[in-house]
Chains A and B, each alone.
Chain A
Amino acid sequence: MSKLNVSSSELDLDRPNIEDYLPTGSIQEPHGKLRLRDLLDISPTLTEAAGAIVDDSFTRCFKSIPREPWNWNVYLFPLWCLGVVIRYGVLFPARVLVLTIGWIIFLSSFIPVHLLLKGHDKLRRKLERCLVELMCSFFVASWTGVVKYHGPRPSMRPKQVFVANHTSMIDFIILEQMTAFAVIMQKHPGWVGLLQSTILESVGCIWFNRSEAKDREIVARKLREHVQEADNNPLLIFPEGTCVNNHYTVMFKKGAFELGCTVCPIAIKYNKIFVDAFWNSRKQSFTMHLLQLMTSWAVVCDVWYLEPQNLKPGETPIEFAERVRDIISVRAGLKKVPWDGYLKYSRPSPKHRERKQQSFAESVLRRLEEK
């Protein structure tokens, strides 16, 4: 518990003020002399608590859409059955085949390139980049990804960093098939972790563990080094730090915004008509998530490469992060909420409670003096 506290007080620096977002006026400022009834009346605080139990904006960010049982209809049911047969009996095997061929091509060229071209770093990197892009295209094809890219394609230059909203790990695959980004990501267990530490390392990806406070410093240092080099792949960061259901954006971590680089926002919006692309990592493993995508009709999404932004004079990194979040939210039609996505893994800091206690105490003391 104490360890959690340490890291959460550290995180506090990253936070925009939650009170700025929460509905105000629920606790009114009464005046006049303090009476017993004023002390005993805890209804505003209770109402807030009950309101949070009934509905809250944080949990809503991570709610997946339940699949609607539209097929319970005599006319549609046979059609739906046909659809199931095609999706599982035809599409799915075909997609597995595509993915297998993709892996064979990829591995049979990646391994030789990686091992044989040790001396020719530039050529090797270029080839590896192309191969990773190719592999990602196979992945996108394996869920019949219908992806529309809007805006100019990212190019490689120093001192720029791309930030995007995060719905699922497939965000990364979708962006990677166009441009070989170097991504900052949570280290995953299982086969994904294996890919991360072998293949993706070669495109310059950086891994960290969310819960390790030590990792933050190392990642920050690696980031600074990475953006300085012109030769490195463009850097991609998902500043939300966790997958959100593509209806909301949670707070952006400021790390990407204090590198002194140009920030290029990318907005990703999924169309959920065929499948909900939100990866709820609490409920599903990534393999199950991929299987769900591979047995659906298609994954439809829009990607916008937006106008690059720079830190304005006098702007703090947090304000800058909020401004970029605003741009992405508007473009993708997402609602902004004040929460830190890491609250999925930890409790809010006691500071917020203390602020409420302070304002209550002050009002009591002030009214006591009003005679």
Chain B
Amino acid sequence: MGSTSSMLTQYDIEEVQEHCDNLFSQQEIVSLYQRFCQLDRTAKGFISADEFLSVPEFAMNPLSQRLLKMADGLNFKEFVAFLSAFSAKANMQQKVKLIFKVYDSDCNGKVTFNDILEVLRDLTGSFMSDKQREEVLSEVLQEAGYTRESLLLLDDFIKILGKSGLKMEVEVPVD
């Protein structure tokens, strides 16, 4: 019987809420748990890359492979924390932090020219050449006062993206 969703106790939910800085309401966490169980088809406690890709809308996303590296094998608590940047309650810094993590593939806290180039490659595929991408990137970096050699830190990202009013919200369906 599939009534596992009601098995979360108040303690469980509060623990998860704490883990995601209270960015989701209790209702939302219950909904997310149902979704987590649905995606985790074999009930092993995490969602495998293959199970993520079974959602066609996700598999079609140009950044899906990159996101998989971050989301593959997360348990429920980590899964909620990963999604918390998309909550309407998350502030700009939390959102930028997630974007930064997507760029910072080796997790050393610095984003290099090549890191950005790789994301750009995911986004544009075969529709821009490597040379075009490098040119575009060098140009906009220079204009913003950086060079090809500069290492961008989280603070730089906040400075660059902070003003533009990021629209990065996902509504969790609550029934």
Contact = CB atoms under 8 A, between A and B. Distances in A.
26 contacts: A36-B143, A36-B146, A39-B137, A39-B140, A40-B103, A45-B61, A46-B99, A47-B170, A49-B64, A50-B170, A51-B170, A52-B57, A53-B52, A54-B170, A54-B171, A55-B172, A59-B38, A63-B38, A66-B2, A339-B56, A343-B56, A356-B60, A356-B61, A360-B124, A361-B128, A362-B127
A59 B55 contact: yes
Contacts of A339: 56
Interface residues of B, number: 61
B86 A50 contact: yes
Contact of A56 (B1, B55, B143, B161): B55
In which size bucket is the chain A interface?
35 or more
Interface in A212-228: none
Contact of B161 (A40, A48, A53, A282): A40
B120 A37 contact: no
A54 B57 CA distance: 11
Given A49-B61, A49-B64, 13 more contacts: A35-B140, A39-B136, A42-B123, A47-B86, A47-B167, A50-B83, A54-B35, A54-B83, A66-B3, A67-B1, A356-B61, A357-B123, A364-B124
Contacts of A343: 56
Interface in A18-64: 22, 34-59, 63-64
Given A50-B83, A347-B53, A347-B59, A44 B167 contact: yes
| 4 A-B pairs closest in CB distance | A361-B127, A357-B125, A52-B57, A361-B124
B116 interface: yes
A353 interface: yes
A116 to B, nearest CB: 50
Contact of A361 (B55, B125, B166, B167): B125
Contacts of A34: 136, 140
Interface string A340-361: 0001000110001110111011
Contacts of A54: 32, 35, 83, 86, 170-173
A36 to B, nearest CB: 4
A356 B61 CA distance: 8
A69 B3 CA distance: 9
A358 B127 contact: yes
A95 B175 CA distance: 37
Interface SS of chain B: helix
B56 A48 contact: no
A365 interface: yes
B99 A36 contact: no
A368 interface: yes
Contacts of A358: 125, 127
A353 B170 CA distance: 21
Nearest to A45: B63
B32 A353 contact: no
B157 to A, nearest CB: 7
A365 B59 CA distance: 26
Nearest to A282: B41
Contact of B166 (A41, A67, A347): A41
B160 A37 contact: yes
Interface string B158-170: 0011011011111
Nearest to B60: A352
Contacts of B35: 53-55
A38 B136 CA distance: 12
B127 A46 contact: no
Contacts of A360: 62, 123-124, 127
A44 B54 CA distance: 21
Interface in A268-299: 282
A219 B98 CA distance: 50
